[in-house]
Amino acid sequence: MRKVIYLDHAATTPLNCDVLEKMKPYLCENFGNASSIYQLGIESRAAVDESRYKVAYALKCQAHEIFFTSCGTESNNWAIKGIAFANRLKGNHIITSAIEHPAVKNSCEYLEHNGFDITYLPVDEFGVVSLDILKKSIRKNTILISIMYANNEVGTMQPIKEIGQIARESNIYFHTDAVQAIGNIDIDVNDCKVDMLSLSAHKFNGPKGVGALYIRTGTNIDPYLHGGSQELNRRSGTENVPGIVGLGKAIELSTIDIESKNKKVLTIRNLFIGAVIRNIPNVFLNGHPTLRLPGNANFFFQGIDAKYLATILNDEGIYVSNGSACSCNSKSPSHVLLAMNKTEETALGSVRFTFGEENTEDEVNYVVDVLSKVIEYKRKNP
């Protein structure tokens, strides 16, 4: 088998083997519907509840405030549309940022076409929203602030606690897309005063197709899927028991020793950033120098087309993204980099490298070696 170096952990992560083992029984012999009243169903219900407890423990909230969904995208859609529809008599104004994941961005645009008024907060050159502009954007009819915890393309982390404080003081619901943050940052929903928080299992070594939404008790939110009353009648649909079990185990494993995991990933990532800057001329690091996810490095290589570079690296067994995984097939430049006041050339010449626990120093050295050769050649032979 050829050597493969996976540097796209922001797109998805490998399923942890212990997580798979925990899921297996619920795919086969323990296949019961969690709503059934006989033993097989009771076992599934117990497994779902145990998972709910694990997620609540990781976020430091109550178990009944955790609702399982099919993915991070669904959690974001639900939080935004659910608040909008339940509170439309109170107001129709929503504040978000200009650098959100498409699941938030396009949900807001959908609402905009349906009578809601959306403010897209600008960010600075590092991708950070301004608290001052946020405060000034708040109106009497503002019902929701939705700002991501950490950006999926450039890794920039937002001042979530301060935003939560502002939202709380103004009596406005606060949702955060924490899909990139879970497993990388220690999160306490009370500390950040969030009312809703989205997460997705496949971003922290859990299975694909399962996520959750934290909803603070007392939050006025409409259900998103109507049906058989599962999840306290807030999110209908037969529970994805094996997926939920996997999510629970994965969040437990990825938050148990978050400090040392964080440190390990940060060390490798910093090694990479240092080596790229030392060995390759005319490169620029996009995003914030320090307020960034431990695994994220996003570089603009002057004069290089990002898609070309990602394709060449693929041929060498190195997996990276141009832009984010969700947008790398589109030719349009990243809305995140443009919002950070980067030129179209920068946006089309930027590559995202996202590291995980299994990446090694040898891999970093190899990747930097390949990168410098490819870039030097391409710059000489455009």
Ligand X SMILES: *Cc1c(COP(=O)(O)O)cnc(C)c1O
Active site residues: 326
Considering only CA atoms, which of 381, 318, 305, 377 is closest in space to residue 353?
Answer: 318
- The reply to whether 374 sits near ligand X by the rule CB under 6 A is no
Give the separation between CA 128 and CA 55, rounded to whole angstroms: 28
3-state secondary structure 194-263: CCEEEEEHHHCCCCCCCEEEEECCCCCCCCCCCCCCHHHHCCCCCCCHHHHHHHHHHHHHHHHCHHHHHH
**For the chain, what is the radius of gyration of the CA atoms?**
21
Give the separation between CA 288 and CA 311, rounded to whole angstroms: 26
* Cα-based torsion angle of the residue sequence 226, 237, 61, 129 in order, rounded to the nearest 10 degrees: -60
Q: Are strands 142-146 and 117-121 parallel, antiparallel or unpaired?
A: unpaired
- φ and ψ at residue 180, rounded to 5 degrees: -80, -20
Q: How far is the CB of 177 from ligand X (least distance, A)?
A: 5
Q: How far is the CB of 202 from ligand X (least distance, A)?
A: 6
Which one of residues 179, 197, 221, 368 is an interface residue with ligand X (CB under 6 A)? 179
Question: Which is closer to ligand X, CB of 212 or CB of 253?
Answer: 212
Which one of residues 82, 207, 211, 323 is an interface residue with ligand X (CB under 6 A)? 211
DSSP state of 128: P
Query: Which residues inside 255-294 make contact with ligand X, applying CB under 6 A?
Result: none
Which one of residues 73, 146, 262, 354 is an interface residue with ligand X (CB under 6 A)? 73
- The reply to whether 55 sits near ligand X by the rule CB under 6 A is no
- The reply to whether 354 sits near ligand X by the rule CB under 6 A is no
Give the separation between CA 261 and CA 276, rounded to whole angstroms: 23
Interface mask toward ligand X for 186-205; x: CB under 6 A:
--------------x-xx--
**Total interface residues for ligand X by CB under 6 A:** 15
Query: Which residues inside 131-160 make contact with ligand X, applying CB under 6 A?
Result: 148, 152
AA letter at 284? F
Q: How far is the CB of 27 from ligand X (least distance, A)?
A: 20
- The reply to whether 13 sits near ligand X by the rule CB under 6 A is no
Q: How far is the CB of 211 from ligand X (least distance, A)?
A: 5
Which one of residues 101, 105, 235, 342 is an interface residue with ligand X (CB under 6 A)? 101
* Binding stretches for ligand X (CB under 6 A): 71-73, 76, 101, 103, 148, 152, 177, 179-180, 200, 202-203, 211
